[in-house]
Structure 1
Amino acid sequence: MDPNTEKTFLGAAENPVVAPTQDEKTLAMLAHLLTFVSSILAPLIIYLIKKDDSQFVATHAKESLNFQITMVIISIGLAITIIGLFLIWIVGIFALVCVIIATIRANEGKIYRYPFTWRLIK
């Protein structure tokens, strides 16, 4: 395991190669926080705008986008089953906690990796 990587049950955080600026930290935080308003659209827009300008912001936006896509797929899968309708709130609480942790890590200037995420966008 990389000594710069901090792994927990709720994801992994590592220090970036180049320290991000305050503006980059703010945009990375927004890539996570704006998912409460629009789950997939906000990180997608931030990723498309900043992918060539900032590796730190692009990494956070891509990770947030992958996590939101994963949560949508899981939620749809649970919504079509009767038992899943009773369990879907657990997914919501889990997503809320992970987004808060990711936002804190972005503010600290660390790269955060969500747990249990299909990385569809590379």
Structure 2
Amino acid sequence: MSNHSGKEERMWAIIVHLSALIGLIVPLGNVLGPLIVWLVKREEGAFFDAHGKEALNFNISVTIYAAIASLLLVIFIGALLLIALFLFWVILVIMAAVKANEGKEFQYPLIFRFIK
């Protein structure tokens, strides 16, 4: 991704990252939000396409991590993991949106790259 992208493409990159916050209201919305936005707008430019794939991969990975942490609730460490994962998720979604607004590349850490 380059450091130059159109204002509209940057706006959609911000939206694809922030659409994950729908997961606060809708179950699996953290995956569905970015998926829908990316599917609708992915042909609009390489900058947006890269941010869309990154947002989708991150949120799929977080969902997998949350499922594992939920299983660990039985041994009590799961609650701490879920809290840490939630904070990690919110902070990184905001960081990605800020980088998209600046027209810069952003790669989420600790993710599986399902969509390349």
For 2:49, the equivalent position in structure 1 comes to 58
Aligned residues between the structures: 107
Q: Secondary structure at the match of 1:110?
A: coil
Between Structure 1 and Structure 2, which shows a larger proportion of helix residues?
2
TM-score w.r.t. length of structure 1: 0.82
Q: CA deviation at 1:86?
A: 3.1
Unaligned runs of 5+ in 1: 1-14
Q: Equivalents in 2 of 1:87, 1:106: separation in Å? A: 28
CA contact 2:62–2:85 (8 Å) conserved in 1: yes
Instruction: Among all aligned residue pairs of Structure 1 and Structure 2, give the percentage whose two residues are the same amino acid.
Output: 34
Which has more strand, going by share of residues? 1
2-side partners of 1:16 and 1:96: how far apart? 25
The normalised TM-score by structure 2 is 0.86
- RMSD, matched Cα: 1.3
| 1:59-109 C-alpha deviation (Å, 9 max, x unpaired) | 111100000000000000010112213321000001111111101000000
Matching of residues 1-122 of structure 1 within 5 Å: 16=2, 19-37=4-22, 38-81=29-72, 82=74, 83-122=77-116
Contact 2:9–2:44 (CA<8 Å) still a contact in 1?
no
